[in-house]
Amino acid sequence: MTPPRASAEPASLAERIEAYRQDTDFTATLRGHALRFHATWGLFSPREVDEGTLMLLEAVEVAPDADCFDLGCGYGPIGLTLARLAPQGKTWMVDRDFVAVEYAAANAAANRIDNAHVMLSNAFAAVPAEQRFDLVLSNLPAKVGNEALTLMIADAYEHLNPDGRLYVVTISGMRRFIERTFEEVFGNYEKVKQGRQHTVGMAERRA
């Protein structure tokens, strides 16, 4: 019989590989709603909900009938929280990564959330041109480049209802770019929250 491993002894490669194949599985209480998430390695923040995502969710005001959009949903913490906060609205969740989309859809089903629509899309590219939202939220991908971010912000404007709002969280180093681009596209910018590492910014599509 193999003796039990002393806890300080490092796991073998085979054991680590086997462990990495297992989904992560954790619960988080987001804006008062307990949600259970499965994720996998390679997705953003697979062990726990990211600090920037938590900051964004705490900063946003959500009406119960809001139609919402989660740009870059990952395994779903933002969109699924929005869907819970706005049970009379519909929340769209998109990601360009099919693995993220599969996990987000599975997490929606596992949490019995049926007012979320999860789909593969390069930002708004697969969203019908006439579709409008009251809220667009994103923990923006940091490494896609300013050109792609500018397109995301411009397309968010086009898909917002009058008085609709775009909220984003970024690492604080991107704050100036976000401020400048929100001003250019929306004509306004508000710094909603500033932490040590992250900043939440908001712009409103004025009627």
Phi, psi of 135 (to 5 degrees): -140, 135
Residues linked to residue 135 through DSSP beta bridges, in sequence order: 68, 165
Find the radius of gyration of the CA atoms of the chain. Answer: 18
- Residue 94 interacting with ligand SAM (CB under 6 A): yes
What distance in Å separates the CA atoms of residue 122 and residue 137, rounded to the nearest whole number? Answer: 15
On whether the CB atoms of residues 26 and 37 are closer than 8 A, the answer is: yes
Instruction: Determine how β-strand 91-95 pairs with β-strand 116-120.
Output: parallel
The single residue listed with the structure tokens 């998109």 is 94
* Closest residue to ligand SAM: CB criterion: 72
The torsion angles phi and psi of 163, rounded to 5 degrees, stand at 70, 0
SS3 30: strand
In whole angstroms, how close is the CB of 77 to ligand SAM at the nearest point?
Answer: 5
73 lies in the binding site for ligand SAM (CB under 6 A):
yes
144 binds ligand SAM (CB under 6 A): yes
Give the residue, chosen from 30, 37, 50, 186, that forms a contact with ligand SAM under the rule CB under 6 A: 50
* Closest separation in Å from C-beta 61 to ligand SAM: 18
Site string for ligand SAM, 3-42 (x = CB under 6 A): ----------------------------------------
> Which residues have a Cβ under 8 Å from the Cβ of 81 and sit 6 or more positions away?
30, 31, 33, 35, 57
72 binds ligand SAM (CB under 6 A): yes
Q: Which is closer to ligand SAM, CB of 97 or CB of 179?
A: 97
- Per rule CB under 6 A, is residue 139 in the interface with ligand SAM? yes
Q: Determine the size of the site formed for ligand SAM (CB under 6 A).
A: 20
Please give the residue ranges that form the binding site for ligand SAM (CB under 6 A): 44-45, 50, 53, 72-74, 77-78, 94-97, 100, 122-123, 139, 141, 144, 148
